[in-house]
Copies of this chain bind each other. A is one copy, B any other.
Amino acid sequence: MENFKFNAYTEMLFGKGQIAQLSEVLKRYGKNVLLAYGGGSIKKNGIYDKVQSLLKDFTIVELSGIEPNPRIETVRRGVELCRENKIDVILAVGGGSTIDCAKVVGAAYYYDGDAWDVVADPSKIDKVLPIVTILTMAATGSEMNKNAVISKMDTNEKLGTASWNMIPQTSILDPEYLYTVPAIQTAAGCADIMSHVIEGYFSKTTDAFVQDKFAEGLLQTCIKYCPIALKEPRNYEARANIMWASSMALNGLCGSGKVGGWTCHPIEHELSAYYDITHGVGLAIVTPRWMRYILSEATVDKFVDYAVNVWHLQPSNDKFALANAGIDATEKFFKDCNIPMTLSELGIDKSNLRKMAEAAVKHGRLEYAYVALNSDDVYKILEMCI
């Protein structure tokens, strides 16, 4: 096991009605709140009104319209609002996009320069305004980690940044808030959770047993409960387990102590940067193709573990058959969740594949991935996705 620091310090308030604690939580920081949210679904499902009624004693300034792939222009707008209104705390109500945007607003607030600098260079992040979140999507894990991803569409850049100081102070997770999440977002969210786990699971480090068992448990959680949530959107057990899995998948539990960078996320980030597609859908498309591409004598044992421990396939002496069956199961699972499983279905053709492949290798530093990939490799994987 590699050396690591683990520090998932967010106070997680999980369960029905936990929003009742919101005012107690926020008043630790002050009276001036930046309320950050997305396209307005929180106005339809009642959370917006609930927040307003709970925060009558606070001064609320709104940053609304945060995009599904949040953009640097929105971050800049948020920073201005914070400075103009002497904001004490940012309340992000939404999914990963809203929370990511809030984090970078909080970081850029203390940075004396353009907000894009703290995205392109995380070492420029020092202090961060306190972040509190109310989660309305189970996917990115941003509610309990130090990461944020921001897009700059004029240059087709979608980059991740990170800081220990960007971790939310408190996150409120009420599984009932997931009842109205549309089916495709529920499925894409599970694909995102699974991808976070898979990126760490397939690692050159082979002795991080605790982390691998956690990973297998979280994958089984999505496999068990995603179909239930799709069939019965108001199934509390399914929503609760998926919601908790989202936070556990990317707070360091599965990835700490393991070497190697990620692969599918950097590749997908280029798809989103060029075509603004749903992140989880892109991941579901890329993941099984990447798996097939990297399956080899060197990786087959890990794929056997994956097939047996995650998909409960019968152990067999034909390691490659078993490994391929695990990959087949992955692809079939996403398909059965009604995720479009080709880029063509999203209207993406081959025209930008080469550019995206080159950018993925550069931004994702894929020479450090589980299996090192160059831009030809990524091009071939993307071609398999068409």
Contacts and interface: CB of A to CB of B under 8 A. Distances in A.
B216 A217 contact: yes
Contacts of A221: 209-210, 213
Interface in A197-228: 207-210, 213-214, 216-218, 220-221, 224-225
Given A2-B15, A5-B13, A214-B214, 13 more contacts: A1-B14, A1-B244, A3-B14, A3-B17, A5-B12, A6-B14, A7-B9, A207-B240, A209-B224, A209-B225, A209-B237, A210-B221, A244-B257
A256 interface: yes
A237 B1 contact: yes
A113 to B, nearest CB: 28
Interface of A: 1-18, 175, 207-210, 213-214, 216-218, 220-221, 224-225, 236-237, 240-241, 244-245, 248, 253, 256-257
A213 B209 contact: no
A14 B8 contact: no
Contact of A241 (B18, B209, B225): B209
Contact of A217 (B8, B210, B225, B241): B210
Given A216-B217, A237-B1, A210 B245 contact: yes
A240 to B, nearest CB: 4
11 contacts: A1-B236, A1-B244, A4-B15, A5-B13, A6-B12, A8-B8, A14-B257, A210-B248, A213-B213, A213-B218, A216-B217
A257 B289 CA distance: 37
A224 B212 CA distance: 13
Contact of A220 (B17, B207, B213, B245): B213
A7 B247 CA distance: 13
Nearest to A13: B5
Contacts of A9: 7-9, 11
A348 to B, nearest CB: 34
A236 B205 CA distance: 13
Nearest to A175: B1
A213 B220 CA distance: 8
B11 A7 contact: yes
Contact of A15 (B3, B210, B216): B3
Nearest to A219: B213
Given A1-B237, A216-B217, A217-B216, A244 B210 contact: yes
Contacts of A18: 3
Nearest to A212: B217
Residue among A9, A10, A16 with the highest chain B CB neighbour number at 10 A: A9
A209 B218 CA distance: 9
Contacts of A240: 1, 207, 257
A241 B1 contact: yes
A245 B5 CA distance: 15
